[in-house]
Amino acid sequence: MAPWRRSLAFGLCFVVLLSLTSRSWGYFYSDSHEGSTNDRFCFCQLQGTIDDCSCNVDTVDYYNNVKIFPRLKSLLVKDFFRYYKVHLEKECPFWVDDSKCAMRFCHVEHCEEKDIPPGLKGDVSSYHKYIKEVQTLTNCNEDLNAELGYLNTSISDKAHKEFQVWADYDEAQDNFCILDDHEPGAEYVDLLLNPERYTGYRGESARRIWSSIYLENCFQAHSVKKKSAYSAMIPYQDMARNEVCLEHRVFYRMISGLHSSINIHLCANYLLSEKGSLGFVAPTGLWGPNMEEFERRFSPHMTDNEGSHWLRNLYFAYLVELRALAKAAPYLRNEEYFTGLEKDDREVKMAVKDLLTVIEAFPSHFNETVMFSGGGTSAIKLKHEFREKFMNISKIMDCVGCDKCRLWGKLQVQGMGTALKILFSGKFDDKFDENGISTRLKQQQSPSLKLKRGEIVEFRQRMR
């Protein structure tokens, strides 16, 4: 898959994660109310509008639970989405930290070579039989003129290196995060065998990750003083109000939504016991929703009344991701989703097209055109700073001490970074009407889209 299409697909992956988060959240709300008058969990049931967007919570809940989530769930088990190539052995670039999660559940199971679909490994030999021209061609030498068809392929090694420099530079201008699947040491992981869940990773190492993200890489309001390492993980209310500009607020709310997504997944898939029902140590442990942990992380009395803001930021991040998918829909429709298994590839392509049609029909998409719209050098500088800060956060993921946490942290950050790339690179065309409502996207690729040299011809491994 070409790099830009692989990156676009990461956006789809993160919407999958957020949708699963929404369903996981349902565990806590429904279970805590069933047969009980205790209202201590009522903070789960948000209502009203979502700040900086034009829709409300109920609209998102209905659209996600009824229309989007069922479609996404069926895609999760497909090879194209379940296998993810990632580099988990990179050193932390910011500090020396040899802390590791001691639990056996932190370990990530890598794939054996034989289990990876051939198309994801770069074997495109079986892809040619899909092409209509190949299916109808009867004589490979037909109309062949050896002289006119001669192609001089004598390009020097030095020229090839220069081409790679150009490609790397082009890609660096649009990316909002680090993609390391092409680096030596990257390996395939089956995400179905390595689900995102609580591993016991906590303490100073985990606190330092979130402290660095919030205090060093989020835009700070002038009125906000730096807090302790633990408090740094708690978003400050100034960013939820209009005390900072829209761009700073969007950045913070995206990171806060990411944080909420991770926390809800951990609470929904928590290690309840290492023993099975018969009392013996279970190889995989006993997992399920942990109501007390969810309350500790989000209830008003445990979070200084900030928990509802963090949950609302999850909705905001969901809407930004949804908007990115809608904007990239014409390009994603043209992808083959190639794994080498013709039947599966055809089903995935049809399912993705159906999903994109549903997403495009969402009535209240986030309007990204109001951002970085001031013109002049100030807007350019702000966008550059926005991108650099998110790029830095993606690097921080290499400092996570738990392998499984690092895996899902990198995946979620890359998905969000891809959404930002789609929305703000200027290479994906879309229109809004006079009321700021997104009009239906054109079904063909925009002639203004400029693909990078390597992106046009190179099929990458896969995405998820």
DSSP secondary structure code for residue 214 in this structure: I
- Where is pLDDT greater, at 8 or 179? 179
- Answer yes or no: are the C-beta atoms of 171 and 70 closer than 8 Å: no
Q: Annotated binding residue at 208?
A: no
Ramachandran bin of 328, using left for φ above 0, alpha for ψ from -120 to 50, beta for the remaining angles: alpha
Give per-residue pLDDT as tens, 296-320. Answer: 998 888 888 888 889 899 999 999 9
Give the C-alpha distances (Å, rounded to integers) separating 17 from 22, 64, 195, 205, 298.
Answer: 9, 12, 11, 24, 19
Looking at residue 136, its pLDDT comes to 54
Looking at residue 398, its pLDDT comes to 94
Beta bridge partners of 286: 273
Give per-residue pLDDT as tens, 162-173. Answer: 776 666 666 666
Q: Annotated binding residue at 82?
A: no
Assign 254 a pLDDT band (cuts: 50, 70, 90): very high
Q: Annotated binding residue at 377?
A: no
In this prediction, residues 126-138 reach a mean pLDDT of 53
- Answer yes or no: are the C-beta atoms of 461 and 121 closer than 8 Å: yes
Give per-residue pLDDT as tens, 31-89. Answer: 444 444 444 445 667 888 888 888 888 899 899 989 998 998 888 889 988 888 899 99
- Where is pLDDT greater, at 416 or 444? 416
The per-residue DSSP string of 307-342 comes to HHHHHHHHHHHHHHHHHHHHHHHHHHHT-----S-H
Q: Annotated binding residue at 4?
A: no
Give dist(CA 310, CA 255) in Å, integer.
10
Look at residue 8 and tell me whether its pLDDT is greater than 50: no
Give dist(CA 165, CA 418) in Å, integer.
22
Tokens of 370: 């109001």
In this prediction, residues 178-192 reach a mean pLDDT of 87
Top mean-pLDDT range of 156-160, 247-251, 334-338: 247-251
Look at residue 209 and tell me whether its pLDDT is greater than 80: yes
Give dist(CA 200, CA 290) in Å, integer.
13
Lowest-pLDDT choice from 51-60, 77-86, 201-210, 216-225: 216-225
Looking at residue 158, its pLDDT comes to 77
Looking at residue 276, its pLDDT comes to 64
- Where is pLDDT greater, at 221 or 164? 164
Q: Annotated binding residue at 297?
A: yes
Give dist(CA 405, CA 110) in Å, integer.
15
In this prediction, residues 207-236 reach a mean pLDDT of 63
Looking at residue 444, its pLDDT comes to 39
Closest to 254 measured CA to CA, from 328, 175, 318: 318
Look at residue 332 and tell me whether its pLDDT is greater than 50: yes
Q: What's the angle, vertex CA 320, arms to CA 413 and CA 448, rounded to 5? A: 95
Give dist(CA 254, CA 312) in Å, integer.
11
Assign 242 a pLDDT band (cuts: 50, 70, 90): low
Assign 224 a pLDDT band (cuts: 50, 70, 90): very low
Give dist(CA 385, CA 369) in Å, integer.
18
Assign 386 a pLDDT band (cuts: 50, 70, 90): very high
Closest to 314 measured CA to CA, from 298, 326, 301, 328: 298
Top mean-pLDDT range of 137-146, 322-331, 451-460: 322-331
Q: Annotated binding residue at 287?
A: no
Tokens of 114: 């034989």
Beta bridge partners of 273: 286
Looking at residue 141, its pLDDT comes to 54
- Where is pLDDT greater, at 454 or 276? 276
Looking at residue 456, its pLDDT comes to 23
Look at residue 218 and tell me whether its pLDDT is greater than 90: no
Give dist(CA 224, CA 285) in Å, integer.
43
Give per-residue pLDDT as tens, 19-29. Answer: 445 555 555 55
Closest to 214 measured CA to CA, from 255, 165, 180, 158: 255
- Answer yes or no: are the C-beta atoms of 453 and 167 closer than 8 Å: yes
- Give me the chain's average pLDDT, please: 75
DSSP secondary structure code for residue 16 in this structure: H
Phi, psi of 284 (to 5 degrees): -110, -5
Q: List % helix, strand, coil for the chain (3-state, nearest 5).
A: 55, 5, 40
Give per-residue pLDDT as tens, 65-77. Answer: 899 989 988 888 8
Look at residue 325 and tell me whether its pLDDT is greater than 70: yes
**pTM assigned to the model:** 0.79
Looking at residue 378, its pLDDT comes to 87
Q: Is 132 exposed, middle or buried (0-12, 13-18, 19+ CB in 10 A)?
A: exposed
Assign 464 a pLDDT band (cuts: 50, 70, 90): very low
Look at residue 186 and tell me whether its pLDDT is greater than 50: yes
Closest to 19 measured CA to CA, from 319, 362, 223, 271: 319
Top mean-pLDDT range of 162-176, 379-393, 446-460: 379-393
Looking at residue 144, its pLDDT comes to 54
Top mean-pLDDT range of 247-261, 267-281, 431-445: 247-261
Q: Which residues touch 438 (CB under 8 Å, ≥6 apart)? A: 323, 326, 365, 367, 430, 431, 432
Tokens of 425: 């690179």
Look at residue 355 and tell me whether its pLDDT is greater than 90: yes
- Answer yes or no: are the C-beta atoms of 341 and 115 closer than 8 Å: no
Looking at residue 103, its pLDDT comes to 72
CB atoms within 10 A of CB 106: 18
Phi, psi of 140 (to 5 degrees): -65, -20
Integer-rounded Cα radius of gyration of the chain: 23
Give dist(CA 214, CA 236) in Å, integer.
10
Active site residues: 402, 405
Assign 148 a pLDDT band (cuts: 50, 70, 90): low
Tokens of 365: 């998409």
pLDDT > 70 fraction of the chain, expressed in percent and rounded: 65
